[in-house]
Chain A
């Protein structure tokens, strides 16, 4: 295998090991290049247009993509579903054709329905970047998670071979979990999913990871504990009896964290439900928690993705 780049980034599955590592390397270089600079801007995408098409509110992800595109000197158009023709019932296809007519080079799409980015990719000529679709995938989140793990635990080089990552929470509804399981496996890490059985998809047995219902037994030996957001509303649909019971069985607090290794990192894709899946003490632990670092790293990773997808065809030899 070698580095290979398609036109779109729709799923973590679009990346093989070499490509993912090249992307992380590029993100690291960009990160280094941007730190301490007065002018936080590179001319790479001058004259290119990147559209942020957001059908779901997500200030964090939209801002991160916007910053990434702007730091590469692209023109950025924010097209949010609210207050636009989209909310007036325009179909995704018609919106796509409009964007196509406007000559956008890349569309960053966040959508509440799984697979919307893949459909979009069939209707437009430019690149499509999945910024989170329904309960399917969120590949750039997985990339920035991998970037953070690599920087903290692998000296910022190579892949994640041998790393043990425990992902805890609402796997069933989590696009972050799906993207992470795939990418982490591609990068050579072992993944353990921990959740109550109600929050694991039927068919999870086929995923390339371990599955456990017991957090306490999964923690020893973990290099990373990634907590997923659990919406309180799931309670009303009987996925679990109460927030308190969930928190007791699957929440990460200081006592549980004490069972982990010295170097174990705590991650969370945000936004957090403090006191539900993660205690405030753990979330703010300066030594273990890399939650704000994840956000910072998001910009470099998304710059690397934009650069990679908008480069010409193929891959240079050197």
Chain B
């Protein structure tokens, strides 16, 4: 610890033998939170700390457009601090926090509170997402402009967990946020088609007697919203795309040049609905786990850019909300500490994405959609030193008790996953070293 603390007191940092985007090994010098020099065999300066990367892969710090930090309101499940710790350990340098807190983040006051908590924690940049409607009730627009103008500078708005299902209201929201270059991130779920829905509607739900969540309920909203976005020439972002049909609709919308972006979660790239067989609610999530053919389509969509990015939908839940009957359990899964590993397993090891592709889908694209200027930048001289170092040869076994989150609802318990985050740097300051949090550490106040 004292080594690490001393290390962070020093200004200069030299990363030795790291492979940007998994390519040729180089040394990277970081000064004043910025990448200062990249080259072979850089000589260390006197007061510089040297980290031997050992050939690990260097990527831009990951950006997550979709997390639930539960603060304020459900601090028993997660806080901005514990969520930030999980994020840093997962290789993230920025996260977007969904507004379904208590109170709802639907005013400048609440989003500023979350923003400040993120700053105080200082492990990752925490960008609050504002609610589209008051109380996420879907009836009346929240003060989107006030949130945009607040210290938190909100650009992403979502009622996530609930769909903005009223088409007239959705149209107005899409139009209104154009004034400050905002984007509506839609949780696409036609509520009338998903009353009581528990699991992907199909063979498994029929067998288990669980009310089906039809793919069409997602696709219908995405189709409608792409048309609305085109009509008012605004930006639409589709949260957690989960079906093959959704990929097709988004691909068609993009082909027409409409401003549509989309995200997919790691769990929808890996897990299928038959995991519900034992009714363990750790596999309950919304939208639900789908089928193997959906997974294939989602991977293909992410590979060809139809789906712009990976977002975790990190959703911590207390044990009371998860250790129950399937039907009364809350939907959601932890995701921050496992996201990169799942993407490596599903996309890199299968050859669907190379490391530049990973850097785009997990850093550059989400930063672009969320309008972050200092995140998701290429590894180049002059870029902010938001970086993650990944040992791509390592494997680790998920132990939920060892995760940083306050909650334990990981669907990957006991699974062995590839790739380990060795170090994370936020504007040149290490938040994670040797796979462990750097203690007592406040970074990034200079933002």
Contact = CB atoms under 8 A, between A and B. Distances in A.
Q: Is there a direct interface between A and B, measured as CB atoms under 8 Å apart in the complex?
A: yes
Interface of A: 91-93, 111-116, 118-119, 122, 133-137, 175, 178, 201-204, 206-207
Interface in B202-221: 202-212, 214
A135 B201 CA distance: 14
A136 B209 contact: yes
B7 interface: no
Given A91-B324, A116-B325, A206-B203, A135 B278 contact: no
B348 to A, nearest CB: 33
A133 B198 CA distance: 15
Given A113-B325, A114-B326, A115-B209, 10 more contacts: A91-B320, A91-B324, A112-B327, A113-B328, A115-B210, A115-B278, A119-B279, A135-B211, A201-B205, A206-B203
Interface string B258-294: 0000000000000000000011100000000000000
Contact-size category for B = 20 to 34
A118 B320 CA distance: 17
Given A203-B203, A206-B203, A178 B209 contact: yes
A203 B204 contact: yes
B324 A114 contact: no
A136 B201 CA distance: 14
Given A118-B278, A119-B279, A203-B203, A113 B327 contact: yes
Nearest to B278: A118
Most A C-beta atoms less than 10 A away, residue of B207, B209, B211: B209
Contacts of A175: 209
A93 B281 CA distance: 13
A115 B328 contact: no
A202 B212 contact: yes
Contacts of B320: 91
A115 B279 contact: yes
Given A201-B206, A207-B206, A134 B324 contact: no
A203 B325 contact: no
Given A118-B278, A119-B279, A134 B206 contact: no
27 contacts: A91-B323, A91-B324, A92-B325, A93-B323, A113-B325, A113-B326, A114-B208, A114-B326, A115-B279, A116-B325, A116-B327, A119-B279, A119-B324, A133-B209, A134-B209, A136-B208, A136-B210, A137-B209, A175-B209, A202-B201, A202-B202, A202-B212, A203-B202, A203-B206, A206-B203, A206-B207, A207-B206
A9 to B, nearest CB: 16
B418 to A, nearest CB: 30
Contacts of A134: 209-210, 327
Nearest to B199: A114
A206 B324 contact: no
Contacts of B198: 114
Contacts of B208: 114-115, 136
Nearest to A207: B206
Contact of A135 (B209, B214, B323): B209
Interface in B136-186: none
Nearest to A136: B209
Contacts of A136: 208-210
B15 to A, nearest CB: 47
B408 to A, nearest CB: 14
A119 B14 CA distance: 53
B193 to A, nearest CB: 12
B202 to A, nearest CB: 5
B167 to A, nearest CB: 21
Contacts of A201: 205-206, 212
A115 B212 contact: no
A137 B278 CA distance: 14
B324 A203 contact: no
A91 B4 CA distance: 45
A133 B201 CA distance: 19
Interface in B357-394: none
A273 B29 CA distance: 79
Give the top 9 A-B pairs by smallest Cβ distance, nearest first: A115-B279, A136-B209, A203-B206, A113-B327, A201-B206, A135-B209, A203-B203, A114-B209, A113-B325
A267 to B, nearest CB: 21
A111 B198 CA distance: 16
A207 B206 CA distance: 9
B393 to A, nearest CB: 37
A135 B214 CA distance: 17
A175 B210 CA distance: 11
B284 to A, nearest CB: 10
Contacts of A115: 208-210, 278-279, 325-327
B326 A119 contact: yes
A118 B280 CA distance: 9
Contact of B206 (A111, A112, A118, A202): A202
